[in-house]
Amino acid sequence: MGCRIYLVRHGETLWNHALKYQGHADIALSERGVRQAEALARRLSSERFAAFYASDLSRALDTARIIARPHGGTVTALPELREISFGEWEGLTRDEIKNRFPEISRQWWTAPYTTRLPGGESLCEVATRAVRALQQIAANHADEQVLVVSHGGTIRAAIGSLLRMDLNQYWRLRQDNAALNIVEFFEEGKAILMLFNDCAHLVGI
């Protein structure tokens, strides 16, 4: 066994519900997001985790803390696990972005891997920092299980990169709030996706 990473998207926020782009904006979990995190915490309460990591944005950090609570664990915050920086798009809906940034939005939705957002990042930059962070976590926890909480775009970019997908198609990877993914890392650059976007714990929430 290599390092098994339980990779989780944070619970829902009010901006998720309103379909606003969040990026680096530090938006807290909604009441429903807290319930989602608590449901996943119950599901994972019998697992053994060597460590807990999360993006330093509160929606991810608080999700990780809720999951770590039954284990008596503390969470290490890593900025490298943050969501894509959407720059000037943060707080806007898709329709607002299309109206205000018609040219760059067409480029982004066609070729996000190389398109740098106004005041933000390209998907290439996100994938690079996220994969590097996950590989470092795996190197630090050989033959152990760890829990990592990050963001939808970041998780899709990282998993897509590890699977050697064309990241211009990363939107084809669905990632729901509080979804569970499991990735097992072996030597650097090699990983197996064992579970993806599992939301069984969210039934009825």
Active site residues: 10, 83
Q: Name the phi and psi angles at 112, rounded to 5.
A: -65, -25
DSSP string, 66-100: HHHGGGT--EEE-GGGPPP--GGGTT-BHHHHHHH
- 115 marked as part of a ligand binding site: no
- 11 marked as part of a ligand binding site: yes
- 168 marked as part of a ligand binding site: no
Q: At what angle do helices 58-68 and 31-43 cross, to 10 degrees?
A: 40
β-bridge pairing 180-185 and 191-198: antiparallel
- 188 marked as part of a ligand binding site: no
- 43 marked as part of a ligand binding site: no
In one-letter notation, the amino acid at residue 8 is: V
CA–CA dist 11, 145 (Å, integer): 21
Count the alpha carbons within 13 Å of 149 in the hemisphere toward its beta carbon.
29
CA–CA dist 196, 160 (Å, integer): 12
- 12 marked as part of a ligand binding site: yes
- 100 marked as part of a ligand binding site: no
- Which residues belong to the annotated binding site? 9-16, 59
- Which residues belong to the annotated binding site for substrate? 9-16, 59
